[in-house]
Amino acid sequence: MIDESSIEDSAVTVERRSPEDVFSLLANDVRIEILHALGETPDTSLSFSELQARVDVADSGNFNYHLEKLCGSFIRKDDDYELTHAGEQIIGAMLAGTYTADATIEPILLDWNCLLCGGAMTAEYFGERAHISCQTCGKGAVFPFPPGCLTQFDRSELPAAFARWLRQLVKRTIAGFCHVCAGRVDGALARLPGGTEANPKPSQAAFECQRCGGGMRFSGATLATFHPQVESFFFEHDLHLLAGHASRAWSRLDRFDSETLETDPPRLEMTFAHGGETLTAEIMPDATIRTVQRYATDS
């Protein structure tokens, strides 16, 4: 059993090495082969001889030289050898095609219309990004999607795959981790530029990474759908948030509204109504949800 008090009290030890030093280790075919060999069975550590049998290097001295170079960064050596977290990330990045693939998917027509202008919604892919957007006003979601994953889905499956991928990116962000570097992210409601005090532009939830400067921005409605009470409202009304981008579910609601309660600091209220029920979610300046209310709608 883990004693949480001892974890809190203990100092965190991190040994830092320069990225140049660490990544220069990978500029060698044998070392890449060694990482791939360990990546074939990521949950199993291998002995020296088992690992060498998977790598096409007959000279044990040469093999050992390259293996030792990777130990401490991409490989952990106990009695046996296994990938470190960084090693797993390198293998994952190679499989996802981040470094090696480039692809384009022509627009796929989706089964709902733009909530802003009624235009046709499409899913497409270029520049290593998925675009779920309106063909008329151009509004929508743009987000990175690993090119190496495109070939794992039929064209008809891709829109839902894009939506599921986006949902886990947002989930990770709301949980407080950067989707790029896993650094800490903190959220805040940020008003979109333009508008007036009387008629402000809507606010977005903005999460910025303290480490890499990356992050994500998404609407208050998207943020709200990750609250368990809101998620179950959609689920119980057969409005599936994973079947497509969340705006597909919103387009099927009887009523969907985003209201600015205050502008400085901003506070928002989302309203979702369907099948005789209304749900409201209040979003605070730090992009957290304070209250969710669900009630029967007067008719």
Binding residues for Zn ion, rule: CB under 5 A, are 114, 116-117, 119, 134, 136-137, 178, 180-181, 183, 209, 211-212, 214
Q: Closest distance between Zn ion and the C-beta of residue 25, in Å?
A: 22
Q: Which is nearer to Zn ion, 7 or 14 (CB)?
A: 14
How distant is the alpha carbon of residue 160 from its chain centre? 15
Q: Which is nearer to Zn ion, 120 or 242 (CB)?
A: 120
Cα–Cα distance between 212 and 228 in angstroms, integer? 30
Q: Is beta strand 203-209 parallel, antiparallel or unpaired with respect to 255-263?
A: unpaired
Q: What sign does the dihedral 103-107-111-114 (CA atoms) show?
A: positive
Q: Which is nearer to Zn ion, 207 or 233 (CB)?
A: 207
Cα–Cα distance between 232 and 235 in angstroms, integer? 5
Q: Closest distance between Zn ion and the C-beta of residue 180, in Å?
A: 5
Q: Closest distance between Zn ion and the C-beta of residue 216, in Å?
A: 10
Encode 158-227 in three state secondary structure.
Answer: HHHHHHHHHHHHHHHHHCCECCCCCCEEEEEEEECCCECCCCECCEEEEEEECCCCCEEEEEHHHHHCCC
Phi, psi of 112 (to 5 degrees): -150, 165
Q: Which is nearer to Zn ion, 39 or 183 (CB)?
A: 183
Cα–Cα distance between 153 and 134 in angstroms, integer? 23
Cα–Cα distance between 1 and 296 in angstroms, integer? 45
Q: Closest distance between Zn ion and the C-beta of residue 144, in Å?
A: 13
Q: Which is nearer to Zn ion, 53 or 120 (CB)?
A: 120
Q: Which is nearer to Zn ion, 90 or 216 (CB)?
A: 216
Q: Closest distance between Zn ion and the C-beta of residue 94, in Å?
A: 20
Q: Closest distance between Zn ion and the C-beta of residue 133, in Å?
A: 8
